[in-house]
Copies of this chain bind each other. A is one copy, B any other.
């Protein structure tokens, strides 16, 4: 099956953050593809990946990068599909990557999620896909219900621990 989400990493060292996203996408049974391609060093490759993916059914892009995190912004300049940015904390508490992802000029937004928060990028992608995909919507709802249960269980454990 064709991937619906294309994850691009600015560097292989960002893989630990990408895994947070792929773990969620797998639970939600959303097909994805994952590539490594630096915005500054291999722009042609980024463009080829994005253009080809957009043609082949990818609905949402996720760009994961640290430092001067240009990658999600570059993707946003190539495609009209929504682009999610995950800032990675490498230096200055990740503020450099957060600003680089979120402070995009008029015309090329990046839907930025929290520093190092790959999971939320996956959930946001699922929310977008879920608008027209009842299956994904249900899996997402179920994933969140499980989450609420887990919170309830955590509370139970804390009570037991305290009493």
A residues within 8 Å of B by Cβ?
Answer: 9-12, 15, 22, 34-43, 47, 59-60, 66-68, 70, 73-74, 76-78, 80-84, 89, 91-96, 98-117, 119-121, 123-124, 127-128, 130-132, 137, 140-141, 144, 147-148, 151, 154-155, 157-159, 162
In the assembled complex, 11 residue pairs joining A and B whose CB atoms fall closer than 8 Å, in A order, are A34-B158, A40-B108, A68-B114, A82-B124, A91-B115, A95-B99, A103-B115, A108-B120, A108-B123, A111-B124, A128-B131
Q: Which of B59, B95, B113, B131 contacts A104 (CB 8 A)?
A: B113
Q: Which of B15, B70, B131 contacts A81 (CB 8 A)?
A: B131
Residue among A81, A92, A102, A113 with max Cβ neighbours from chain B (10 Å) = A102
